Amino acid sequence: QSALTQPASVSGSPGQSITISCTGTSSDVGGYNYVSWYQQHPGKAPKLMIYEVSNRPSGVPDRFSGSKSGNTASLTISGLQAEDEADYYCSSYTSSSTLYVFGTGTKVTVL
């Protein structure tokens, strides 16, 4: 089971919107609506930001949104803020014996 593919880096200015893609296969991203996104600041544990493709846990700002089309999921951050600078990982439930697969990670830089 290969890791999901994410761009290594994405950047934007404060107030702008950015989108991070997460590409998998029909056995994971494309086969289930069980894509989640995690935010990780340096030296910190990951934090769940999106689950089931587009649902936000309580306390996560609504400028974070998720979507999916085919085998690719996306995380959009609208109204980018300085505190959004972090690494972001997607994850998907998978039908293979792997059960869970994470993405390669994307570093978001706020210019």
Partner 1 sequence: QITLKESGPTLVKPTQTLTLTCTFSGFSLSTSGVGVGWIRQPPGKALEWLALIYWDDDKRYSPSLKSRLTITKDTSKNQVVLTMTNMDPVDTATYYCAHSTPVTPCFDYWGQGTLVTVSS
User: Rule CB under 8 A: which residues touch partner 1?
Assistant: 1, 3, 34, 36, 38, 45-48, 51-52, 57, 89, 91, 93, 96-105
CA angle 2, 46, 61 (to 5 degrees): 115
Give me the amino acid identity at 98: T
Query: CB-wise, 24 or 103, nearer to partner 1?
Result: 103
Q: Which is nearer to partner 1, 45 or 111 (CB)?
A: 45
- Nearer Cβ to partner 1 (18/105): 105
CB 74, min distance to partner 1, A? 17
Task: Give the span between the Cα atoms of 13 and 23, in whole angstroms.
Answer: 25
Question: Residue 99 corresponds to which tokens in the numbers above?
Answer: 């059960």
Q: 45: Cβ–Cβ under 8 A, 6 or more apart, which residues?
A: none
Q: Give the nearer residue to partner 1 in terms of CB position, either 63 or 107.
A: 107
CB of 16 to partner 1, least distance (A): 25
CA 54 – CA 37 distance, rounded (Å): 9
Structure tokens at 76: 């959009």
CB 24 to partner 1: min, Å:
14
